[in-house]
Structure formats: C-alpha cells, structure tokens
Amino acid sequence: MPSQIAHILLGREAAQGLPDGWFPRFSEPSFRLGCQGPDVFYHNRRTKPGAFLYGTRLHRRGWGSFLARFRREALDRGWGPDHPGMAFLAGQATHGFLDRRAHPFVVYFSGWRIPGDPRTESLRHSHAFFERILDVLLWKERVGTSLAECRWQDDLPGPGDFPPDFWTAWAEALHEVFPQLSARADVETRLKNAVSDTQGFLAFTSPTARDHGVRAARQGALHWFHPQVLPDEDFLNLRHSPWRHPVTGEEHSTSFLDLYDQAVVEAQRALAALADHSADWEAMLGNGSLNLPGSEGENSAPQFSRPWSYEELYDREVRARLGEAGKLP
Ligand SMILES: [Zn+2]
C-alpha cells in the first residue's frame, strides 16, 4: 500500500473519468475511505472478529474478481451516485492500480527486515515510513501546501454511516471470492469492525493530530505518522536515477510521479466504466498481485533493494517531534 493520502489524491484525479455529474453527488468521506482499498483490512488490529486476512488475500490475488462482483451487487440493487456504497466502491476500484504500479518502487527503496538478521533491524518499519514520506511529497507536488493542513483523515465514515444493504453487498462479493475465510454469517460484523478500526486508526494518525505524533515519538511508533522534517533528498526520484524491480531485477528510471500518473490513467478508465453493465470490469481491474507482481502478475518475493537510511530519518523525526513538545506550554 502506498499510503492513505496518495490513494486519496489518486482517487480524486481518477474521479474525472466518472460519468458526468457523479463525483459531486458522492458522499466524499465514503469515497476517501473506499480509496484505501483492502488496506482497510490491514487497519483492523483491535476489534474482533476481524477481517485482516481479507487484506492479505486481496493484495495477492482476486482483486478484479472481487470488485466485479461487488459492482454487480451494487448495480443489481440500483445504487446510483447518491448511495454511499457507490462512492465507496468507486474509491476501492482506484486502489489496486496505484498499488501495482508503485509497490516495486516502494519495496526497492524501503527494503525489508529479515527475521534473525540484526543488520536489517532498522528496516522493521521502513515500508510504512517510506510510504508516508511519499505521501508528504506527493501532497506538496499536487496540492502545493504542507500536509500538516490536510484533514482527509479526520472525518472518515464509521459503521453507522452506511445503510444495511451496503454491508450485505460488500459481504456477498467478498464471500463469493473467498468462501473459505469465514462463515458467511460473520462477514458483515467483520467488515464493520474493519471500518471502525480504520476510522479510529486514521483519525489517530491524522496529519492534524500533532499531539498524537509526540506521544508516538516517545513510544517508538512514529513510522505510522507523516514525517515533518525530511532532508532534501530525491525520494520521488525526480532525477530519474536507475533503480531495479525488486523481483525481476529489471532496470527502471521512472519517478514515483511517473508511476502515479500511469495509475491515474488506468483508474480513470475503470471509473468511466463504473455504471456500464456491458464493461468487463474484472478484466479491466485484473486479478494479479497488488503487492509485487512478477512478470505474469503473480505474487512474488523481492530480491533487490537499496533502502534509504531509515534509522537516521526516523531519529530526525523523533528529535523534531520531541523538540516541538518541549516548546509546548
Ligand atoms: Zn493496498
């Protein structure tokens, strides 16, 4: 997952592909939640019974198949742009395109921890932290201000903000694709728990929640927060330096913005077909891995990487946050 803000920025740009007049009628917070794709399941770490495994599975395989079924449930029920479920579904459909394009870049530049190898210990949270670095810089590129002003994580919807048929449609689609993961009777409850945890986690780590950042700096959990004092490094690879696909080793020089722009075009195409019954959405969205697609789209393990100095970057953030706290009355 590139992080939450990148997914929302991309979703909003892709929304230009929607049928005329749809986006202004969307419940905008539901759309923003939708843009988080199956990452909403990754945020489900508190409330049980949970839905975490749906996140792992959907990132591996079946993304197109799941969303094509979800769309069928929505259209069969006659949802239009005023239904919050439709806004959520549209956001969901944009997520996978950015994941697929950006994950090789993210993994190459964040590396990974190898259990039992102390030299890789500093990479424990590098993936999550690098994604938040990208959020900050992408926001600056696209919006032009400081991410500290962004309120997108503050008002995401909770379980009470969706009508009952939303949960049924989402649960039906998931259960059809992954029938073995849970008893059908439990799925709605699991989904509500995932949405509730996502709402809580993203509000807690919101760029506007500065006091939470200070607390996280003290507790060693600052990698879930957006950095505020980044050094002047080319994290987005705007200079087009060579990097390698972590699975295939193939050389690239694309910047993060190039990858993002490619994903916008793909997501726009999918949203243009959102209400078109004749469009083959499963093929358009694809079932290949959202993590690290190999040459055939299959989920694959990485080999190549060149991580940034995460220990240094992290310590710099902790010092800044605690320094800021020291200045507070
Ligand atoms: Zn994701």
**How far away, in angstroms, is 39 Cα from ligand 1 center?**
5
Q: What's residue 327's pLDDT? A: 63
**How far away, in angstroms, is 62 Cα from ligand 1 center?**
13
Identify the CA nearest to 162 among candidates 131, 112, 199: 199
**How far away, in angstroms, is 257 Cα from ligand 1 center?**
18
**How far away, in angstroms, is 61 Cα from ligand 1 center?**
12
**How far away, in angstroms, is 326 Cα from ligand 1 center?**
36
Percent of the chain exceeding pLDDT 90 equals 94
**How far away, in angstroms, is 35 Cα from ligand 1 center?**
9
**How far away, in angstroms, is 100 Cα from ligand 1 center?**
9
**How far away, in angstroms, is 325 Cα from ligand 1 center?**
33
d(CA 203, CA 106): 24
**How far away, in angstroms, is 202 Cα from ligand 1 center?**
15
Q: What is the mean pLDDT of residues 123-132?
A: 96
**How far away, in angstroms, is 282 Cα from ligand 1 center?**
17
**How far away, in angstroms, is 41 Cα from ligand 1 center?**
10
With tokens 């459909």, the residue in question is: 93
**How far away, in angstroms, is 63 Cα from ligand 1 center?**
10
Helix (H, G, I), strand (E, B) or coil at 236: coil
**How far away, in angstroms, is 3 Cα from ligand 1 center?**
8
Q: What is the mean pLDDT of residues 253-274?
A: 98
**How far away, in angstroms, is 94 Cα from ligand 1 center?**
10
For the chain, give every domain's residue range. Answer: 4-327
Q: What's residue 1's pLDDT? A: 54
**How far away, in angstroms, is 164 Cα from ligand 1 center?**
25
Position 119 pLDDT exceeds 70:
yes
Q: What's residue 299's pLDDT? A: 85
DSSP state, 16? G
Percent of the chain exceeding pLDDT 70 equals 98
Global pTM value = 0.97
Q: What is the mean pLDDT of residues 228-235?
A: 97
Q: What's residue 293's pLDDT? A: 81
Position 99 pLDDT exceeds 50:
yes
**How far away, in angstroms, is 329 Cα from ligand 1 center?**
40
d(CA 142, CA 126): 24
Q: What is the mean pLDDT of residues 296-314?
A: 93
**How far away, in angstroms, is 11 Cα from ligand 1 center?**
13
| Residue length of the chain | 329
Cα of first residue to Cα of last residue in the chain, in angstroms, is 37
**How far away, in angstroms, is 66 Cα from ligand 1 center?**
14
**How far away, in angstroms, is 168 Cα from ligand 1 center?**
23
Q: What is the mean pLDDT of residues 167-185?
A: 97
DSSP state, 18? S
Q: What's residue 71's pLDDT? A: 98
Identify the CA nearest to 4 among candidates 95, 123, 110, 124: 95
**How far away, in angstroms, is 64 Cα from ligand 1 center?**
14
Q: Which residue has the higher pLDDT, 18 or 327?
A: 18
Q: What's residue 329's pLDDT? A: 46
Q: What is the mean pLDDT of residues 114-141?
A: 95
Identify the CA nearest to 135 among candidates 146, 125, 126, 124: 146
